[in-house]
Chain A
Amino acid sequence: MTEQLTVDQISDTEIVMTRVVDAPRDLVWACHTQEQHLRRWWGRGNPLDVEIDFRVGGKYRFVEHADDGNAYAFRGEYLEIEAPARLVQTFEFEGMPGHVATDSLVLTEENGRTTVTTTSRFTSKDDLDGMVGSGMADGAQRSYVALDALLRELTA
């Protein structure tokens, strides 16, 4: 059974994403920070090159070889590390260089399950557009479902 992933806008430059993962926090932390684990999931099942220097000031680079024949590269730098509870890193899609988001991940454990709360802060409002470039592999189809959800939130 797949958990619900929620995304909400919390300010004009920040969105927050929450996701529950059915595993203890130490393991979920390892999955987000260690090469052998990242390789197995971050590419959505596609082959993934992982370069990672996991320390404050260290950098990472992931290249996903998608089945549409394209390679999608992402990179960033680790700004703060508090294992296994908090991680702050930058995130940039190389297809739209210069649009850098700062992602703060907070991991909390309850009954052996872990909630990952990621706050993405875009340094300028334009950087939202950089993220648009990276969702983008799937082509932008208008999502009336999402619109309905947004309107529901507006009318709540």
Chain B
Amino acid sequence: MTDRLSEVFAALADPTRRAILARLTEGEASVNELAAPFPVSLQAISKHLKVLERAGLIVRGRDAQWRPCRLDPEPLREVATWMEQYRRFWDERYATLDTYLRDLQAPEKETDR
């Protein structure tokens, strides 16, 4: 399961796939509807959808004729959590650096406390 994060990162690394996900935040859509805005073949879009499906980011309907795609936000949430942890890890350190540098650069104060 730890592999899923990597898979999601890889899926999100492509701008077309990000655009597809963005479209799906508005609601489910068919492959044709998803392909419409892009100057690429349906085949290429299908490939992108397979990557997104493998990463667990979209769910395809069962109906063979019309397999609508739906966004599953759960893996996005995992990535967001990971990013947030990474961000916090460094944010806390740099906040401490700010304080340290303020003290370091403060004009010499005459305190004998």
Chain A contacts to B: CB under 8 angstroms: 2-3, 5, 7, 9, 11-13, 15, 17, 19, 21-23, 27-28, 31, 37, 40-45, 116, 118, 124-126, 128-129, 131-132, 134-136, 138, 140-147, 149-151, 154-155
B94 interface residue (CB < 8 Å to A): yes
Given contacts A128-B82, A141-B81, contact A2 B10 (CB under 8 A): no
Q: Are B2 and A129 in contact (CB under 8 A)?
A: yes
* A40, A134, A154: the one within 8 Å of B21 (CB): A154
Contact A17 B81 (CB under 8 A): no
Q: Which of A5, A27, A147 contacts B94 (CB 8 A)?
A: A5
For this complex, 13 residue pairs linking A to B, each with C-beta atoms less than 8 Å apart, are: A17-B90, A21-B94, A28-B101, A31-B100, A40-B96, A42-B96, A44-B96, A125-B7, A131-B82, A132-B82, A135-B86, A142-B77, A150-B83
B interface, by DSSP: helix, strand, loop or mixed? helix
Contact B92 A44 (CB under 8 A): yes
For residue B98, give the distance in angstroms from its CB to the closest CB of chain A: 6
Interface residues of B in 1-38 (CB under 8 A from A): 2-3, 5-7, 9-10, 12-13, 18, 21-22, 25
The number of residue pairs between A and B whose CB atoms lie closer than 8 Å in the complex comes to: 130
Q: What's the interface size class on B, roughly?
A: 35 or more
Per-position 1/0 for B79-113, Cβ under 8 A of A? 11111111111111111111111101100000000
- When C-beta atoms are compared, the residue in chain A nearest to B82 turns out to be A132
A97 → chain B closest CB, angstroms = 15
Given contacts A28-B101, A142-B81, 13 further A-B contacts (CB under 8 A): A12-B9, A15-B83, A27-B101, A31-B97, A124-B6, A125-B9, A129-B6, A132-B85, A140-B85, A143-B81, A146-B84, A155-B22, A155-B25
